[in-house]
Amino acid sequence: MRLLQCNCAGEYHLTEPLPNDNAIPCYAILSHTWGADSDEVTFNDLTNGTGTDKSGYEKIRFCAEQAKQDGLDHFWIDTCCIDKENKAELSHAINSMFRWYRNAARCYIYLLDVSTAKRKADSDASEWESAFRRSKWFTRGWTLQELLAPRSVEFFSWQRKRLGNKDSLRQQIHEITGIPKAALQGELLSQFNVNDRLSWMENRQTKREEDKECTRDLHVTDPRRDKARIKQTKGGLLEESYHWIFQNQSFLHWRNDPQRQLLWIKGDPGKGKTMLLCGIIDELNRSTAKTTLLSYFFCQATDSRINSATAVLRGLLFMLVSQQPALFSHMRKKHDQTGKALFEDANAWVVLCEILTDILQYSTLDNVCFFVDALDECVKDLDKLLAFIVQNSSLSLRAKWILTSRNYASIEQRLRLDDSRARLSLELKENAAQVSQLEQIQHDQLLQLSVREKMQQKANGTFLWVSLVMKELKDVQVWEVVQVLDEVPSELIDLYRRMMEHIKQLKRRNPEICRQILSTVVATQRPLHLQELCVLADLPNQGPNVEETTATMVKMCSSFLTLREDYIYVVHQSAKDYLLDEAALSVFPSRAREVHRDIFSRSIEVMSRSLQRDMYQLRAPGYPIEQVQQPKPDPLAALRYSCIYWIDHLCEWISNSLTYHESILMSRGVVDGFMRTKYLYWLEAVSLCTGMSKGVVSMAKLEALTKKRAATSSTIEVSTPGILLFSPTHSVIRALFKDEEPQGIVIKPGMQDQWSNCLQTLEGHSSYVNSVAFSQDSTRLASASDDRTVKVWDARSGKCLQTLEGHSSYVNSVAFSHDSTRLASASGDGTVKVWDARSGECLQTLNVERALYNISFDSSDNYLHTDIGFVNNVHHFFRLLGGFKRYLYSIGTCIDLIVAFSTCQHAFRIYP
């Protein structure tokens, strides 16, 4: 922490950094609303003696004079006492801010939008109170800690007139902010639960737009909404279904033993693991210490957004930062460098592990409880997730974990459980309390009791069994209830068979309609909207109310499916397993690959029929996608899935079929015909569906497929054309869509005849690019620039993954180690830096005392070859006997690529 001090000449200067709280003298602290960045006095202004002409300098004068009146020689202001260019210092300051405000002798709140010019007397607040209530200061994100942390808080108008303090203005502050008076009087914040404290933050704004952007980029799902959806979909959560857990010895050991960090709840499909976890979360949210954070995630194999290890960590982090925004500091440094790619590129898993580990080891968190449901439905990188959980549960005593899954030996083995108290098996307990009451039978208490006892006997502790039977009982008459219960089998698999037989016995075309619906829902990659299902399953003509009629058809599918906000979900993973396995011949009479063919064909048909230019009538080329609002009705409602996934289903069909007609991929075939007539309109639709990144990947898949499968030359042009005016003059797409070129442009750019061999142009450096190098696995590319940075790029997508900063002069050369884990850079500042290629952390700085222009790792990765010798990893420098063989950095030839760069350009290009 640095403090400001006024010298005898009336000038302000910063103290040296103070190492700990004991070394810090009494000080005042300023709370204010930031103006424009150009108006605020910065750390560099104070160190350079500039900034006195900025409007923000008035705040420094005010704070200094007020502190002097209160007998204080030191004061602190956030705009100028933190070196924000030093990321480590900035992160430390953000984490320490609450403590700094709490330790201040006085806190002055300077309200620039509250005037006392017309004030007649100290006791007359009528002239300024309305402005006080409207003050922007109360809407700030930092207001809470700056209001609650300090012992003494005083409010001042912009004329420096004292308005009152936190005690005298308590009623007004309570009415403005909703913060309880007890909290304003200094009651411990731990006495208020997390939800209450979160409510105080509602409608607050922060100037740090980067935090908001980081939240948007981190978001893959909101687990709180997932929990609400699950509870609603499964018929609600009753206390009887989970309350037994709080007397269970395994759970009590986990909850009360500080050394017991992990509990695994296992059980067969439908035993109620998910609903049990929802109940535990709800109960702990009410009863645990208010300083404990709860973070949870629900895996779902049928939803590609939430069925991977990376998605789990993103969801857990999202919940943590949503509850405690100060934790942003642990991820902002990395996010500021790479943006959204931080959470999505090939290194996302490694980075997310580092962030969460950093939070658990170094943050000011008290305790965190993590809950991950349905580990068996984490279909991607489950082994990595389990290894991470095991490692962190043993290293951090502040974090406890509850995990649920099916009773898989592979999961038990990887969790390394060495004590029976770390397990809770739902197979060991016929938990009748999990059976909910049949609320539909309310007129006859004796019948209600009889039905409940019979359901308890047959359910065998399986929550899903109860849920499915309850749905069936809703459609029968009172006198049929007991008979239906007698007929219903007690095993879940037998219940599924009964449901399938019920579908087969439907009248007229209804069994075939149900088969079309089930096969489509099971084969698609995400839950479908009702309008999407209507198209992809080729449901009968339904008249004007498509959604209502489709919903009725879905309900015919005998409880295999459930509806939530017009989206269709399989009721449970075990139900999907049954449909794909035992019932496959009933659901897919022509085999599953033919369903992919049908989805592809229907997608092409509906897109060809419906896509056109400017689907949303925006009438403005280049309209910002974040400002686009879906019209009502949405012309893309039935097309969204088709636009994003049609290529996936084409690839799935062809890769698993020997009978497809090769003309589909040939020139003038179905795909070629679609591209010739609708390609630009499809790209626009993909953009409106915010799926451009997926669209780029899909086009690459289509290109690979056409090269592998097409028997004759295809004229499909799969390179993204961009704006037509900037496409080559002989471009197929430009010729096909020439009528779509913007009118009224007189001077048009001169373009080459064909597409260039340049695969990508990577832009981002602010000065000359001196060197580039591919990683040995060909997945990344590093570039060194005169702007003193090294950038690491995704070689496939061209996204900038990292910007490595630390050199104080031009960076002349860069090289990857042979195992691609390290990156070395040589600079004109006389140093060589060795970086962790994945995290971007600087591992070593080797002082070679002269500028180097060529470096490379030797075959052992223990030495660096340079212009004049070699360097080993303990900072020793040696001359090479017989001189140095210069390494030419055309290492891309090893992977059939040549990298070209120019000292006159700030970008470089990649050629095949």
More confident residue, 900 or 195: 195
- What pLDDT score was predicted for residue 109? 92
Residues 533 and 539 sit within 8 Å (Cβ to Cβ): yes
Alpha-carbon span 232 to 235, nearest angstrom: 5
Q: Exposed, middle or buried, 605 (CB in 10 Å: 0-12/13-18/19+)?
A: middle
Residue 140 φ then ψ, to 5°: -70, 155
- What pLDDT score was predicted for residue 200? 64
Output the DSSP codes for 199-243.
Answer: HHTTT-B-S-HHHHHHHHHH-S--HHHHHHHHHHHTT---GGGTG
User: pLDDT-derived band of residue 820, with 50, 70 and 90 as boundaries?
Assistant: confident
User: pLDDT-derived band of residue 702, with 50, 70 and 90 as boundaries?
Assistant: confident
| Identity of the amino acid at 252 | L
- Of the chain, the percentage scoring pLDDT greater than 70 comes to 77
807 is written with which tokens? 């050199």
Helices marked H in 17-148 — which ranges?
Answer: 43-48, 57-69, 87-103, 129-134, 143-148
Q: Does 238 have pLDDT greater than 60?
A: no
Alpha-carbon span 712 to 719, nearest angstrom: 19
Q: Does 719 have pLDDT greater than 70?
A: no
119 is written with which tokens? 């004030």
Query: Which residue bears the tokens 């040696």?
Result: 878
The DSSP bridge partners found for residue 368 are 293, 399
In 3D space, the residue among 203, 385, 366 whose CA is nearest the CA of residue 308 turns out to be: 385
Output the DSSP codes for 560-616.
Answer: SEEEETTEEEES-HHHHHHHHTTTHHHH-TT-HHHHHHHHHHHHHHHHHHH--S-TT
- Mean residue pLDDT of the chain comes to 78
pLDDT in tens, 836-855: 888 888 888 888 888 888 89
Residues 897 and 858 sit within 8 Å (Cβ to Cβ): no
pLDDT in tens, 389-427: 988 887 777 789 999 998 888 888 888 876 644 777 775
Task: Count helices and strands (H / E) in the chain.
Answer: 31, 30
Residues 760 and 910 sit within 8 Å (Cβ to Cβ): yes
Output the DSSP codes for 266-323.
Answer: E--TTSSHHHHHHHHHHHHHHHS-TTEEEEEEE--TT-GGGSBHHHHHHHHHHHHHHH
CB within 8 Å of 387: residues ≥ 6 apart = 414
Average pLDDT, stretch 322-334? 74
Q: Does 205 have pLDDT greater than 70?
A: no
Query: What is the maximal distance between C-alpha atoms in the chain?
Result: 101
CA distances from 603 to 110, 419, 597, 620 (A): 60, 53, 10, 27
Residues 725 and 742 sit within 8 Å (Cβ to Cβ): yes
857 is written with which tokens? 């790792």
CB within 8 Å of 289: residues ≥ 6 apart = 190, 366, 367
Residues 550 and 538 sit within 8 Å (Cβ to Cβ): no
More confident residue, 495 or 727: 495
CA angle 684-688-693, nearest 5°?
A: 85
pLDDT in tens, 78-108: 888 988 777 677 767 777 788 888 889 999 9
Q: Does 437 have pLDDT greater than 50?
A: no
Q: Collapsing DSSP states into helix, strand and coil, what is residue 535?
A: helix
Average pLDDT, stretch 194-199? 58
Output the DSSP codes for 710-726.
Answer: -SS------S---SGGG
Average pLDDT, stretch 724-736? 64
Alpha-carbon span 34 to 18, nearest angstrom: 25
Alpha-carbon span 498 to 790, nearest angstrom: 63
- What pLDDT score was predicted for residue 887? 31
Average pLDDT, stretch 331-354? 80
Alpha-carbon span 750 to 182, nearest angstrom: 72
User: pLDDT-derived band of residue 453, with 50, 70 and 90 as boundaries?
Assistant: confident
Alpha-carbon span 165 to 637, nearest angstrom: 55
Least trusted range by pLDDT, from 115-129, 501-515, 632-646, 836-850? 115-129
Alpha-carbon span 551 to 548, nearest angstrom: 5
CA distances from 342 to 101, 468, 784, 801 (A): 32, 42, 20, 7
What end-to-end distance do the CA atoms of the chain give, in Å?
53
Tell me 692's DSSP state: H
- What pLDDT score was predicted for residue 219? 87
Alpha-carbon span 832 to 807, nearest angstrom: 9
User: pLDDT-derived band of residue 725, with 50, 70 and 90 as boundaries?
Assistant: low
Out of 173-182, 463-472, 725-734, 825-834, the most confident range is 825-834
Q: Does 112 have pLDDT greater than 50?
A: yes
Q: Does 261 have pLDDT greater than 50?
A: yes
Q: Could you tell me the strand order of the sheet in which 760-763 lies? A: 760-763, 907-911, 898-901
User: pLDDT-derived band of residue 565, with 50, 70 and 90 as boundaries?
Assistant: confident
Query: Which residue bears the tokens 């999202």?
Result: 318
- What pLDDT score was predicted for residue 363? 55
Alpha-carbon span 497 to 504, nearest angstrom: 11
- What pLDDT score was predicted for residue 848? 81
pLDDT in tens, 632-671: 889 999 999 999 999 999 988 887 766 666 677 777 788 8
Least trusted range by pLDDT, from 58-62, 376-380, 715-719? 715-719
Query: Which residue bears the tokens 């806190």?
Result: 107
384 is written with which tokens? 């990595």
- Of the chain, the percentage scoring pLDDT greater than 90 comes to 19
Query: Which residue bears the tokens 């050199």?
Result: 807
pTM over 0.85: no
Return the percent helix, strand and coil in the chain, to nearest 5: 45, 15, 40
- What pLDDT score was predicted for residue 113? 83
Alpha-carbon span 736 to 740, nearest angstrom: 9
Out of 690-694, 718-722, 805-809, the most confident range is 805-809
CB within 8 Å of 55: residues ≥ 6 apart = 35, 39
Q: Map 773-818 to HEC letters.
A: EECCCCCEEEEEECCCEEEEEECCCCCEEEEEECCCCCEEEEEECC
More confident residue, 450 or 755: 450
pLDDT in tens, 875-889: 344 333 233 333 332
- What pLDDT score was predicted for residue 715? 46
Alpha-carbon span 228 to 24, nearest angstrom: 48
User: pLDDT-derived band of residue 748, with 50, 70 and 90 as boundaries?
Assistant: low
Q: Which helix (H) or strand (E) holds 395?
A: helix 382-395
